[in-house]
Each structure stands twice: as C-alpha cells, then as structure tokens.
Amino acid sequence: AQSVTQLDSQVPVFEEAPVELRCNYSSSVSVYLFWYVQYPNQGLQLLLKYLSGSTLVKGINGFEAEFNKSQTSFHLRKPSVHISDTAEYFCAVSDQVQAGTALIFGKGTTLSVSS
C-alpha cells in the first residue's frame, strides 16, 4: 500500500520569500509523483510531475520539485512567492507498474502569502 505525508499543514510566508513544501511517501513499488494546486472553490490543477529521468522537475508558475529516492521525498520549492500563490497544495503518488491507477493524496498544505 502507498501513503503520502505532507509534513506541514500550514506554511505562512511573506511575498518574494522562498518557500519549500515538504512531502514524503511510502510505497513498496516504484511510483510516479505529482504536485497539484487547488485555489478556493476550484478543482485541482497539475503543477508538475515526476515520471522518470532527471530528479529535478520544473513545473508551472515557477515551481520545481526534487525527487529523492533514498529519502522517499518529493519536496516542492519556489525561490520567490507571490500573493497569487496562496492556495492549497497536494502531493500525490500513483503506482508506476499499474499505470493509470488512482492517485493517493496527502492531506494538503495551505500556503498563505502575505505582503
């Protein structure tokens, strides 16, 4: 069975500061890794994904994440946040062997950016 732990439920930061949202996963099989963002009253939007290859993945809106297999982590980073980045962020995994299987999500991290 797979599980995802997002280590921080809330992350408050000031505008233009760097941010890291932490995600650890547990799985007995190889996995694909994802970060989704959810703005208020909206569905989930894909930020970035790790399927294979380079462990540093770049996504939309200036976000990037690094896959660390030995630490089973997939932390999300942005060097300088904007007010508009305020949202809920979800880390998710899916089974790499059985492609197309459902996503297992963490509980989410609320990023609050203030001026």
Partner 1 sequence: EAGVAQSPRYKIIEKRQSVAFWCNPISGHATLYWYQQILGQGPKLLIQFQNNGVVDDSQLPKDRFSAERLKGVDSTLKIQPAKLEDSAVYLCASSLQRDPQYFGPGTRLTVL
Residues at the site binding partner 1, with contacts judged by CB under 8 A? 4, 34, 36, 41-46, 49, 90, 92, 99-103, 105-108
Give bridge partners of residue 10 from the DSSP assignment.
110
- Residue 3 or residue 80: which is nearer to partner 1 going by CB? 3
CB of 62 to partner 1, least distance (A): 19
Q: Which two tokens stand for residue 20?
A: 């890291």
3-state secondary structure of 18: coil
Contact between 110 and 10 (Cβ < 8 Å): yes
Q: Residue 34 or 74: which CB sits closer to partner 1? A: 34
Minimum CB–partner distance for residue 15 and partner 1 (Å): 26
Beta carbons within 8 Å of 60's beta carbon, 6+ residues apart: 46, 47, 48
Task: Considering the complex, state which of residue 53 and residue 100 has its C-beta at the smaller distance from partner 1.
Answer: 100
